[in-house]
Structure 1
Amino acid sequence: MPERDTIMRELHDLGLAAWFGGSMMGAVGLNPAAEEQGTEVDKARVASSGWAKWTPVNAAAIAAHLVGAAGLAVANRRRIAGQKGVLASTLAKTALTGAALGATAYARTLGKKIELASSPEQEKAKKAEKHPISVESAQGQLRIVKWAIPALTGGIEVLNSLQGEQQRPSRQIWGSLRRLASA
């Protein structure tokens, strides 16, 4: 079903592009812009506000990527099993996706701590105190994690390109023949 495969590819690629682009924009644009604010609380509020607005879009992008990835895996299951190199690239891409999901979830947890702690609402600020990590520690960890997400999603993009090359008809034939020859 080529039409379904095309839809899955578009969901996969568009979701990944938004996930990568949003994380890169945050690391390069939003967070440095927030650092230009006056007080530490103002810096945290500006960054937290931007990330809170992006979170639903990011969640939709990640969901689209995962739905597309699952659809592509089902559509290409024979090629994954039979063409030399495709299983390895698929497993590597799956591992990177898992790491990117973990880094994204962890970054959101750290960001939520900072968001709550910098809130002018007393109730939210009290919630922040219940988190086991300090604001300073969360900020320090976010300085690292904010770069891990675009690095991991960029790695997924590289493997995406490799898999695109592996789908060329000439590569499929030779890959399948090599797999048979080695069996």
Structure 2
Amino acid sequence: MSTRNTMLRSLHDLGLAAWFGGSLMGAVGVNGAARDEGGTWAATARIAGSGWAKWTPVNAAAIATHLFGSGGLLAANAPRVAAQQGVAASTLAKTVLTGAALAATAYSRVLGKKIELAASSDPQDAEKAAKHPIDTDKAQRHLACLQWAVPALTGGLVVLNALHGEQQRPAEQLHGVWERARTLAPHMPSLGHLTH
């Protein structure tokens, strides 16, 4: 019999929702508003940078919340991951997608910070930017791709989360456990033969 993990699920889902929604809103809203209001490249970069900088601590908290919930759910569901066919594969896919989303998020913040420094009118920021010059056109192209990659990757996590929910249905669990057992003992009949 499965136990409830309401708190872990809530942390997992709320963290992922904020990560996905915030990254999508930033790519559409923050960047769009900066383009509309900026006028010059530097002003646009400063506006976008300011918006993304305000979002960064909230995003970090959302990611940490999601990862904590994910780790707890993985520990709680470890027996099912091992015993039910298909669950290990979807769990591995979620892990890979989470890693890719984390990498894209981190790298986009690094690029955003570099662009923010290059566009800054503050003399101290200009000095820092001069010590680590970047090709701002190339950095902005990479950043534009990454800022769409993060919502795409986290959206993929939402889809895999839905798949995990379906795999937890009692009939799916029974079928998956039976099929896993059949891979270990191929002479066993299929579940369909037993129900007819």
For the residues of structure 1 that align with 2:144 and 2:126, how far apart are their CA atoms?
22
TM-score if structure 2 supplies the norm length? 0.90
**Alignment deviations for residues 96-138 of structure 1 (CA, whole Å, 9 cap, x no partner):** 0000000000000000001111222111122123335322221
Determine whether 1:127 maps to 2:141: no
**Alignment deviations for residues 28-51 of structure 1 (CA, whole Å, 9 cap, x no partner):** 111011011211111011000000
For the residues of structure 2 that align with 1:177 and 1:148, how far apart are their CA atoms?
38
Equivalent residue runs for 1:24-173 within 5 Å = 24-36=24-36, 37-131=38-132, 133-173=134-174
Specify the alignment match of 1:176 in structure 2: 177
Structure of higher CA gyration radius: 2
For the residues of structure 2 that align with 1:60 and 1:97, how far apart are their CA atoms?
15
TM-score if structure 1 supplies the norm length? 0.96
Q: Which amino acid aligns with 2:34?
A: A
Specify the alignment match of 1:13 in structure 2: 13
For the residues of structure 2 that align with 1:130 and 1:60, how far apart are their CA atoms?
31
Q: Which amino acid aligns with 1:34?
A: A
- 2:121 is paired with a residue of what secondary structure? coil
Q: CA deviation at 1:85?
A: 0.1
Q: Indicate the RMSD between aligned Cα atoms, in angstroms.
A: 1.2
Specify the alignment match of 2:191 in structure 1: none
Q: CA deviation at 1:2?
A: 4.1
Q: CA deviation at 1:75?
A: 0.2
Count of matched residue positions in the alignment of Structure 1 and Structure 2: 182
Structure 2 residue runs of 5 or longer lacking an equivalent are 185-196
Structure 1 residue runs of 5 or longer lacking an equivalent are none
**Alignment deviations for residues 33-78 of structure 1 (CA, whole Å, 9 cap, x no partner):** 1011211111011000000000000000000000000000000000
**Alignment deviations for residues 152-181 of structure 1 (CA, whole Å, 9 cap, x no partner):** 001111100000000111111111011001
Q: Which amino acid aligns with 1:6?
A: T
Given that 1:16 and 1:65 are in contact with CA atoms closer than 8 Å, whether structure 2 keeps it comes out as yes
For the residues of structure 1 that align with 2:63 and 2:163, how far apart are their CA atoms?
21
For the residues of structure 2 that align with 1:132 and 1:78, how far apart are their CA atoms?
51
Given that 1:117 and 1:126 are in contact with CA atoms closer than 8 Å, whether structure 2 keeps it comes out as no
Given that 1:116 and 1:127 are in contact with CA atoms closer than 8 Å, whether structure 2 keeps it comes out as yes
